[in-house]
Amino acid sequence: MGNVPDKIWTWQMVNPFKKDRETGEVTPGKLEKTQIDVPVLQPGEVLVEVAGCGVCHTDLGYFYYGVPTVNKPPLTLGHEISGIVVDAASDVAAWTGKEVIIPAVMPCRKCYLCKTGRGNRCLAQKMPGNSMGIYGGFSSHIPVPAIDLCEVTNRGNLPLEKLAVVADAATTPFQAAKRADVQVGDNTIVIGVGGVGQYMVQVLKALGCANVVAIDINQERLDVMLKNGADFVVNSMGKTPREISGELKAFRKESSLPSTGWKIFEVSGSKPGQELGLALLSFTGKMVVVGFGPHKVEYSISRLMAFDAELIGSWGCLPEYYPSVLSMITSGKINFEEFVQTRPMSTIAESFDEAHTKSPDQRIVLVPDF
């Protein structure tokens, strides 16, 4: 048994940000530092002392946009978690003392979706900060099932708290690549190279894609991507889809690349990004929607028929893929540390506000300082 606390410190979302549709009146969201009881661990469960928890766009969706959580507030947000197992039920006692990454979505492993390889979208899945009662990653400790944990066996000089990002930002792109059936030699496009997109580019290159094109409105991010897996970049600021398509056509011609079969990953979650992806989707291509946005996009769905193309959604990542992504990071195939920053968890309100105002170039990981 490790250092088991008497209480769990946590930053709870007491109420989300709200805006009245008729009056426009705004009620700010509220985060409150509090203590909750340490639960009695059930068979198969462990208690993890949180080393770090990443601030994800999904958390901001719950807090600022009223995206509903399965369990209603008050609850603790946060689903990008790394830490150390400090206590465990007797049947999983061997986990005690191990460094782990907690998957952002944990399937039930019993339903039809789980049994047919689609457990990442299991309808009974457990997700910290959403469907695990009051428990989430922006806390000192969290109880979770042991079966889905990814053990960190050799992290070299990488700080455990930074590896929290593996739980979502780095693994979600891997799942998206699997959904697209990415193969060695594929030609791909990534729209949006922020917190998740920057890993999407690197994962595609690590999987052997011949060409990875990065598209964003931030030139600095694009310049960084050219050093980290992108073969060609397009700054889409102020450009129409037709103009961007023209730049891609010139790149294909110069590089003697086909116009068919391209796989597009829309990671920005923005309306312009999604509209661009749909405009670029062409013959025998695939578009995978990775980023989330609350807006609606108009599209002539018959184009999918005419192009024999595919429009696919991708959610989370199967826990069994985590070791592969972790290996990519620890082996240096993915540049990791350059894209992660750590801050005290007591800065959670300011960090939420900053990430909401502008997606940071470096993923924010909050480190408990209760």
- Condensed to tens digits (0 to 9), the pLDDT of residues 211-247 reads 999 999 999 999 999 999 999 999 999 999 999 999 9
What lies within 8 Å, CB to CB, of 228 at 6+ separation is: 198, 201, 202, 335, 338
A 10 A CB-CB count for 38 gives: 16
Count CB atoms within 10 A of the CB of residue 86: 18
The whole-number pLDDT of residue 358 equals 86
Which residues are within 8 A (CB) of 241 and not within 5 positions of it... i.e. 6 or more apart?
275, 276, 279, 280
Model confidence at 19, in pLDDT bands (50, 70, 90)? confident
- Average pLDDT of the residues in 97-126: 95
In this predicted structure, what is the pLDDT of residue 195?
Answer: 87
7-167+317-367 fold? Quinone Oxidoreductase; Chain A, domain 1 (3.90.180)
Q: What are the tens digits of pLDDT across the range 181-216?
A: 999 999 999 999 998 999 999 999 999 999 999 999
The better pLDDT of the pair 35, 25 is held by: 35
Q: Are 136 and 79 in contact (CB under 8 A)?
A: yes
Q: Taking residues 241-254, what's their average pLDDT?
A: 97
CA 200 to chain centre: 10
Distance, CA of 363 to CA of 370 (rounded, Å): 21
**pLDDT for 59-77, tens place per residue?**
998 999 888 899 999 999 9
Among 157, 149, 112, 332, which Cα is nearest to 228's? 332
**Residue 86 pLDDT class (50, 70, 90 cuts):** very high
- Per-residue confidence band for 25, with pLDDT thresholds at 50, 70 and 90: confident
Cα(first)–Cα(last) distance of the chain, in Å? 22
pLDDT class of 296 with cuts at 50, 70, 90: very high
Interval 36-41 mean pLDDT:
95
Question: Where are the domain boundaries for CATH 3.40.50.720 in the chain?
Answer: 172-313
Instruction: Read off the pLDDT band of 2 (50, 70, 90).
Output: low
CATH topology of domain 172-313: Rossmann fold (3.40.50)
Using pLDDT thresholds of 50, 70 and 90, give the confidence band for residue 308: very high
Condensed to tens digits (0 to 9), the pLDDT of residues 138-159 reads: 999 999 999 999 999 989 899 9
Q: Retrieve residue 210's tokens.
A: 């011949």
Residues in CB range of 54: below 8 A, 6 or more apart: 78, 80, 81, 137, 164, 165, 167, 168, 169, 363, 364, 365, 366
Q: What is the mean pLDDT of residues 322-342?
A: 93
Mean pLDDT (whole number) for 12-29: 85
| pTM, to two decimals | 0.91
Q: In the chain, which residues fall in CATH 3.90.180.10?
A: 7-167+317-367
Q: Is the pLDDT of residue 354 over 70?
A: yes
Out of 15-24, 252-261, 327-336, give the one with best mean pLDDT: 252-261
Flag whether pLDDT at 1 surpasses 70. no
Question: Do 366 and 140 touch, CB atoms closer than 8 A?
Answer: no
Tell me, what's the pLDDT at 242? 96
**pLDDT number for residue 319:** 95
Mean pLDDT of the chain: 95
